Structure 1
Amino acid sequence: MKLELDPDRLFPVDPATRDVARGLYAEVATLPILSPHGHVDPAILLHNVPFLDSAELLIRYDHYVTRLMHAAGVPLTDLGIADSLSPAPIASPREAWRTFCAHWHLYAGTASGYWLQHEFSVLFGIDRHPDASNADALFDLIQTALATEAFRPRALFTQFGIEVLATTDDPMDDLAVHRALVADASFTGRVVPTFRPDAYLNPAASGFADGVARLAEWNGTAPGSYRGYIEALAGRRRYFVDHGAVSADHGVLQPLAVDMPASEAAALFERARGGALSDVEAQAFAGHMLLEMARMSVDDGLVMTVHPGVFRNHNTDTFRRFGPDMGHDIPVTTTYVDPLRPLLEKFGNLPDFHLVLFAVDETAYSREIAPLAGFYPSVYVGAPWWFLDAPDAVLRFRAAVTETAGFYRGSGFIDDTRAFLSIPARHEMARRLDAAFLARLVREGRIDRPTAERIIVDLVDTLPRKVFKL
């Protein structure tokens, strides 16, 4: 089966509207990529060594890819993922690639399938859909490409047109890789860290007590000192700012902010260190710390992004055997208006405080997030994320938020990916969908063409620079 990329992919079917979309897309097709939230390992850019193979690059660490094959009954060990509780051998990279190719049909109509087709065609020149009969030939073709200088990480960074790439980092990371990249005159890209403190704020998180102890040791204070704990978090945030960070990211189950006296928080903190909190108390303390993180963002200027609404590691056995990020993180219903009111009462009207609210529960866009962003100067609507970063969901997002909050209360596109090769495909998809949405408004007489041309440039370039203080 021939693999071809339609030059009008994702554009409206109506010829006249499609023509407007083509013109709008042309305005932004070659603009640089701004990626202010993602999970690419910065070490690949520092060391700049060749990628190992197609399975390691396109399958092993992409839970979008592994989850559908697991759902079809493919053991994760057949994809080259080790089972920590079993000595059974795992598939070789070539064997894992064969399994993927034999199941390629599973990805038809999915966002993963769309991105992968783009990668296959644009990056590797592949003109046939993968299947069991051509798996070995495609593996060898990709392997040959990966051995060339053009496919080294730095060369791809330049080829992709990436201007800014943000990583996601533990608060106690020494950020040595980021320092080395800044000091390396041969690398001219901008790679910035992101402060991700979840495990240090939530008493229910694995390793909370150990994290608190590490903070205390770094700060030179007693592990049981709540004041020292707060000082240490603020100090580590300053350390990140000094190393180029622009945001602090919070992955919480629910976006809950709790305002409580410092004395009450200190008492909960002391009991949290010993694992003595009830579920309700742990939730309250984590909510208090989300409010504290907002206060610190007001002080140090880090953009506060909140990625809530995901039940992480839903299947206990899979988590025990294979670890996190194996495709069994599942969306849950999420609410924002009441839970975040204490935070917004304190900081919502401060224009220099930027709070970007993401959702995996798309019912929240029109019901809660867009109305909040349509009033509070601090609040911005986070781009469609995770299960919602697919073509139809992106268009639903635009329809859900625009009539309430307009185009200028959004974050700009966020690729949120570990899959480095998919970054240009994801941004290209977003730009085409924005062009399609705006073209419909032009054809319906709701906005004129010059306004649409300005908006699409702002969505791609101006807004992410503003919202993430780039």
Structure 2
Amino acid sequence: MSKTDHLHADRLLPSADPALSVARELYEAVKDLPIISPHGHTLPQWFAENEPFSDPAALFLTPDHYVLRMLRSRAISYDALGVPRKDNGEVAEGREAWRLFAANFHLFAATPSKLWVDHSLQWCFGINESLNAENADAIYDTIDARLADDDMRPLALLDKANVEAIATTEFALDELPYHQIMADNGLIGRVRTTYRPDDVTDPDAPGFAANIERLGELTGQDVANWEGLIEAHRHRRAFFRTMGAVATDHGVPTANTVDLALGEKQTLLNHALSGQLDAAGAELFRAQMLTEMAGLSAEDGMVMQIHAGSRRNTDPLLMNERGPNLGADIPTQSNFVTGLQPLLARFGNAEGLRVILFTLDETTYARELAPMAGYWPSLMIGPPWWFHDSPQGIRRYLDGVVESAGFYNLAGFNDDTRALLSIPARHDVWRREVCRFLAEFVAEHRLSKQSAAEIAAHLSYQAAKDAYRL
């Protein structure tokens, strides 16, 4: 493979004129726009302490569950990949893990992970060849030597990528010590937290009853009482806003909501705290909590993100050995029309409410999400997420939603990543695919070039700022 073929300047753009020339022009105008990253899972410790990354594997491999799950699917041990264990047992060191990653990099052909890694190697380290067993050590040494430089520290990488704003995501009980450090250093605003209360809204969360008790301690509220529980959330949300939070996030298995009477809600809470909820009861509790969170968002203006449709941590061995978020999550079907109806009936017309919907069930794009966002002023459609944050996934998404929802009911792009260097890579893929989509419309005389340029800039930058009220 030649270096020209490796990362072609026209990658992902249309293959021929007239659309190719239009896409090139559109892309040239948006490729260097600042990045708005309003939802993600990078570690706040990186930005608070601004220390160098320890080695190339810590930068590219161990934080990236997209990479890990593919290697796991080929029976490659997480021990051999250097993924830490709960018992602090021995795992491979960085170079050894990197060699294994490189030797198996061919597994990622045609996946977005290959695009992201190739882009990151070129963008950050000037490496213009794809990783393999033969060049593994040379590439490792090139990266490792550069990691000691000040321009490779986390805050400098944000500068290099032109990241204007980035949000991390923390649970309700997190006391945000790293954001406190960032506040002292004047970084809040560029870096923000996000309120994710799953630890105290999902009865299936580990240690749920103890979590609720801790929520009461942090807020001084009687959380054994339903109204006290909601008041405790109100207090925690206010605290998170002091650390820049403009949004909440809810990782739920379904989009189900309910609107129960106070007595029924109290009974649910009583059963949850005593460990008496069955699976149906736990789902009912989560459904009611989504409605409650919508009410609080209508009140305080925090943008509500609903990430529905994942069955998480499906491998109990992996969960017991190493914990969550390591690749064993699987998409499930979702029903947004029926599921969200109680929430929308109660709060859908509230002036202050904004809900951004994310799905792993692509069949809902045209059937549910686009018509819903095309009517309800409180709803917007989040970008293709997780398994569908990919060139083909973006194409299916735009094809599915634009005709019913238009471009301006879309929330732009957020990279939702744990791997810092993949942020500019992911945004670049989004911008190329947006330009490709719009160029085809121009070539077919369905959009003017001027309109396409305005929409490309909106979806690449302004849409996320508007959606998240930044």
Q: TM-score, normalised to structure 1's length?
A: 0.97
Structure 2 residue aligned with 1:30: 32
Aligned residues: 468
After superposition, what is the alpha-carbon deviation per residue over 1:387-414, rounded to whole angstroms, capped at 9, x for unaligned? 0000011011001000111101001101
Letter in 1 for 2:160: Q
1:265 and 2:265 are equivalent in the alignment:
yes
Is 2:107 the counterpart of 1:106? yes
Using the alignment, how far apart are the partners of 1:424 and 1:56 within structure 2? Answer: 18
Residue 62 of structure 2 corresponds to 60
Aligned identity (percent) is: 41
Amino acid at match of 1:442: V
In the alignment, the residues of structure 1 paired with residue 200 and residue 44 of structure 2 have an alpha-carbon distance, to the nearest angstrom, of 22
CA-CA distance at 1:57 after TM superposition: 1.0
Q: Where does structure 2 lack aligned partners over 5 or more consecutive residues? A: none
Question: Secondary structure in 1 aligned to 2:155?
Answer: helix
Aligned-partner Cα distance in 1 for 2:189–2:409: 28
The 8 Å contact of residues 163 and 189 in structure 1, kept in 2 or not, is answered as no
Contact 1:294 1:343 in 2 (8 A): yes
Letter in 1 for 2:349: N
Are positions 1:151 and 2:142 aligned together?
A: no
CA contact 2:57–2:98 (8 Å) conserved in 1: yes
- Partners of 1:370 and 1:210 lie apart in 2 by 40
Q: CA deviation at 1:189?
A: 6.5
2-structure distance, mates of 1:248, 1:189 = 16
The structural deviation recorded for 1:15 is: 2.5
Q: Secondary structure at the match of 2:336?
A: coil
Shift of the 281–188 alpha-carbon distance from structure 1 to 2, 3 Å rule, reads: closer
Give, as a single letter, the amino acid of the residue that structure 1 aligns with 2:157.
L
- TM-superposed CA distance for 1:172, in Å, is 2.2
Structure 1 runs not aligned, ≥5 long:
none
1:224, distance to aligned residue in structure 2 (A): 2.1
**Contact kept in structure 1, 2:257 and 2:343, CA below 8 Å:** yes
Distance 2:270 2:227 in 1: 11
Between the aligned partners of 2:389 and 2:85, the Cα distance in structure 1 is: 30
Aligned to 1:95: 96
Helix, strand or coil at the partner of 2:338 = coil
Aligned pairs (5 A) from 1:435-446: 435-446=435-446
Q: How far apart, in 2, do the equivalents of 1:297 and 1:258 lie?
A: 16
> Is residue 203 from structure 1 mapped to residue 203 from structure 2 by the alignment?
yes
Q: Distance in 2 between matches of 1:339 and 1:76?
A: 37
Tell me how far 1:53 sits from its aligned partner: 0.5
Is the CA contact 1:115–1:422 (under 8 Å) kept in the aligned structure 2?
yes
Counterpart in 2 of 1:381?
Answer: 381
Shift of residue 287, structure 1, vs aligned partner? 0.6
In the aligned structure 2, how far is the partner of 1:248 from the partner of 1:22? 37
Using the alignment, how far apart are the partners of 2:182 and 2:238 within structure 1? 19
Q: How does 1:363-378 map to 2 (within 5 A)?
A: 363-378=363-378
Asked whether the equivalents of residues 54 and 139 of structure 1 are also in contact (C-alpha less than 8 Å), the reply is yes
Alignment partner, residue 226 of structure 1: 226
Contact 2:41 2:416 in 1 (8 A): yes
CA distance in structure 2 between the aligned counterparts of 1:77 and 1:321, rounded to whole angstroms: 10
Q: 1:179–1:104: structure 2 CA closer, same or farther, 3 Å change rule?
A: same
Q: Which residue of 2 aligns with 1:74?
A: 76
Structure 1 residue 155, shift from structure 2 partner = 0.9
Q: Is the Cα–Cα contact under 8 Å of residues 162 and 189 in structure 1 kept in the other structure?
A: no
Instruction: Give the drift of 1:221.
Output: 3.4
CA contact (8 A) 1:38 1:166 kept: yes
Q: Quick one: which amino acid aligns to residue 432 of structure 1?
A: R
Contact 1:348 1:376 in 2 (8 A): yes
Q: Contact 2:407/2:455 (CA < 8 Å) preserved in 1?
A: yes
The corresponding residue for 2:316 is 316
Mapped to 2, the partners of 1:438 and 1:93 lie a distance apart of 42
Q: Who is 1:42 aligned against?
A: 44
Query: In 1, Cα distance between the equivalents of 2:189 and 2:301?
Result: 23
2:122 counterpart residue number: 121
- Tell me the residue number matched to 1:275: 275
CA distance in 1, matches of 2:273, 2:189: 41
Query: 3-state SS of the aligned residue for 2:166?
Result: strand
CA contact (8 A) 2:219 2:236 kept: no
Counterpart Cα distance in 1 of 2:441 and 2:223:
57
Note the 1:163-174 alignment, pairs <5 A.
Answer: 163-174=164-175
Kindly state the Cα deviation for residue 84 of structure 1 after the two structures are TM-superposed. 4.1
Change (3 A) 1:279 1:112: same
| Alpha-carbon distance between aligned partners in 2 of 1:83 and 1:32, rounded to the nearest angstrom | 37
Partners of 1:454 and 1:56 in 2: CA distance: 39
- How far the C-alpha of 1:345 sits from its partner, in A, is 1.1
Give the C-alpha shift of residue 127 in structure 1.
Answer: 2.3
Contact 2:179 2:188 (C-alpha < 8 Å) held by counterparts = no
Counterpart Cα distance in 2 of 1:82 and 1:442? 50
Distance in 1 between residues matched to 2:68 and 2:425, nearest whole Å: 19
> Aligned residue for 1:307?
307
Query: What is the CA-CA distance between 1:182 and the residue it aligns to?
Result: 2.8
Equivalent pair of 1:62/1:418 in contact (CA under 8 Å): yes
Match of 1:134 in 2: 135
Report how far residue 234 of structure 1 moved: 0.9
The Cα offsets for residues 369-390 of structure 1, whole Å up to 9 and x where unpaired, read as: 0010000001001100000000
Shift of 1:2: 4.3
Give me the TM-score of the superposition, normalised by structure 2: 0.97
Paired AA for residue 139 in structure 1: Y
CA RMSD in angstroms, aligned pairs only: 1.4
Equivalent residue number for residue 245 of structure 2: 245
**Aligned AA (1:249):** D
Give the SS at the match of 1:451.
helix
Aligned-partner SS, 1:44 = helix
SS at match of 1:50: coil
**Mean CA deviation greater in 109-118 or 212-221:** 212-221
- 2:53–2:147: 8 Å Cα contact kept in structure 1? yes
- In the TM superposition, 1:4-19 aligns within 5 A as 4-19=6-21
Structure 1 match to 2:329 = 329
Offset at residue 180 of structure 1 (A)? 2.3
User: In structure 1, what residue type is equivalent to 2:417?
Assistant: T
